[in-house]
Amino acid sequence: MTGLTDIKTRSGFIALAGRPNVGKSTLTNAIVGSKVAIVSDKPQTTRRAIRAIANGEDYQLVLIDLPGVQRPKDALTERMQRRVEHELDDADGCLMVLNAEQGIGPGDRFIAQLLKSAKVPIVIAVNKVDKSSEPKTVEILQAAEELGIADAIFPISARRGTGVEALIEHLVSLLPVGPYYFDAAQRSDQSDSVLLAELVREQVLIRTREEVPHAVEVEILAITDQADGLVRIEALLLVETDSQKGILIGAGGRMIKAIGTGARRTLERELGTRVHLALSVAVRRNWRADERLLDRLGIE
């Protein structure tokens, strides 16, 4: 019988925490080496606890890109907050991400206070140092240390990859010895439909402003492989008001066409084949408070 002493690999879970727009999703993609989390400068970009899988020669590091920690406002944010607390309980470590460009604010301190009760090692990554001056970066690194929660602090640029390798090495050192949890070729635990829906939603986030990004969710209705190698994808964009629907469609249908064009190109890169994307928009009032719909969309 093979025991733990015979296992040469490390594997485990690291939870990512940080307020919106600190670059957690960009960092997740950089560590994994492929796109598993959508990226946007809009708050609440991440709604699901995505398990992103980084495989090395002797390790499997599973990153849980948590929803942006915030005070619960509705059923959606309450679920996001519960997920944060649950994932921290099950993790082997926690990585808190700060934004060097913006500095440390009340939101960061709120999260740090929440993490003080965590029973796992906490690492801080000060991201976006490429957009910050050296004196300001030094100041933020000192402020990060003064939060009093971190076992280690790393200045990084997830966008450029600066410092990411050293961060990975440290995170791997926190993992217990054990076999892989996922297949070595796997990069995410998301279903195909969820991943494709998120890639479509990313294009909505890129192109819309104000209340619209928060009010949009995407549901994949059908994925059909056709005889000529084309993949047909039917996607439904859910919004909460008629005015939001009008914004997504745009004058003469220009907005929905732009979203569809951008999404189709992204989907083709992801799937490696030609895609026909059929988009429709529907009003579902107060969908963020609809528990059954949130269940169907996979937002736990």
How much is the average pLDDT of 74-99?
Answer: 79
Q: Last residue of a domain, which of 117, 139, 173? A: 173
Question: According to the model, what pLDDT value does residue 77 have?
Answer: 64
Shared domain for 12 and 158, answered yes or no, is yes
Q: How confident is the model at residue 43 (pLDDT cuts 50, 70, 90)?
A: low
Same domain, 21 and 127: yes
Q: Let me know whether 117 and 196 are in one domain.
A: no
Give 199-249 pLDDT, tens digit per residue.
999 999 888 876 677 788 899 999 999 988 899 999 999 999 999 999 999
Main-chain dihedrals φ then ψ at residue 155, nearest 5 degrees: -80, 130
In a domain, 178, yes or no: no
Do both 60 and 199 map to the same domain?
A: no
| Mean pLDDT for the stretch of residues 79-98 | 81
Strands 59-65 and 50-55, by their bridges, are: antiparallel
| Average of per-residue pLDDT values in the chain | 87
pLDDT of 50 strictly over 80: no
**Residue 184 resides in a domain:** no
**Angle ∠(71,49,73) on CA atoms, nearest 5:** 20
Tell me the CATH number at 102. Answer: 3.40.50.300
193-54-295 Cα angle (round to 5): 30
Regarding whether 102 and 20 lie in a shared domain, the answer is: yes
271: containing domain: 192-296
Q: How many residues does the chain have?
A: 300
| Domain identity same for 153 and 46 | yes
Q: How far is CA 120 from CA 42, 87, 147, in A?
A: 29, 11, 16
CATH (domain of 229) = 3.30.300.20
**183 inside domain:** no
3 or 40, which is more confident: 40
Q: Does residue 286 form part of some domain?
A: yes
Q: Are residues 157 and 258 in the same domain?
A: no
pLDDT, tens digit (0-9, with 9 covering 90-100), for 262-300: 999 999 988 899 999 999 999 988 887 788 887 777 765
Number of domains present in the structure of the chain = 2
